């Protein structure tokens, strides 16, 4: 099923339509509204679609049942499930930041969650 979705999402016309013809603010507001609907069918369908398009892993969540997709999105984690590296030579952020100006680093590379490397602009 994921291969079919990847094949569909790789279609340039569909990507163009979704990212350029439908105003992003409209999609953002719709998803904000939709995600907070506390209906088991909508919740299960929404989280199921989310899992199809990402590697959603709920094993580190402190609870296993959610009221809505929003409840799942802002889930509390089990204690110690995502620790922060406190070493002085490590620059880390609890969120995926937009890097604007960063001091010169010995290794100009960062790692976003899920170990996806990001190179800093020169």
Quick: pLDDT tens for 64-114.
Answer: 999 999 999 999 999 988 887 788 877 776 665 555 545 555 555 555 555
Report the pLDDT value the prediction gives residue 23, as an integer from 0 to 100.
80
pTM exceeding the 0.95 threshold for the entire prediction: no
Q: What is the pLDDT at residue 59?
A: 92
* pLDDT of res. 68: 97
Q: What does the pLDDT read at residue 99?
A: 52
Which pLDDT score, from 0 to 100, does residue 24 have?
79
**Rounded Cα distance, 52 and 6, in Å:** 9
Place of tokens 């939709």: 34
Residue 13 CA: distances (Å) to CA of 4, 18, 93: 16, 9, 35
Q: Residue 41: what pLDDT?
A: 97
Is the model's pLDDT at 34 over the cut of 90?
yes
What rounded mean pLDDT belongs to the chain?
77
Note the pLDDT of residue 108.
55
């Amino acid at each position: 099923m994921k291969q079919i979705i990847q094949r569909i999402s790789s279609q340039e016309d569909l990507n163009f339509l979704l990212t350029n013809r439908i105003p992003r603010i409209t999609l953002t507001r719709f998803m904000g509204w939709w995600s907070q609907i506390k209906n088991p069918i909508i919740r299960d369908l929404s989280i199921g679609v989310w899992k199809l398009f990402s590697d959603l892993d709920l094993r580190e969540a402190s609870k296993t049942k959610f009221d809505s997709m929003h409840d799942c999105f802002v889930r509390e984690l089990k204690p110690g499930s995502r620790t922060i590296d406190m070493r002085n030579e490590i620059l880390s952020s609890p969120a995926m930041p937009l890097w604007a100006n960063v001091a010169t680093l010995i290794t100009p590379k960062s790692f976003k969650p899920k170990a996806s490397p990001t190179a800093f602009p020169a």
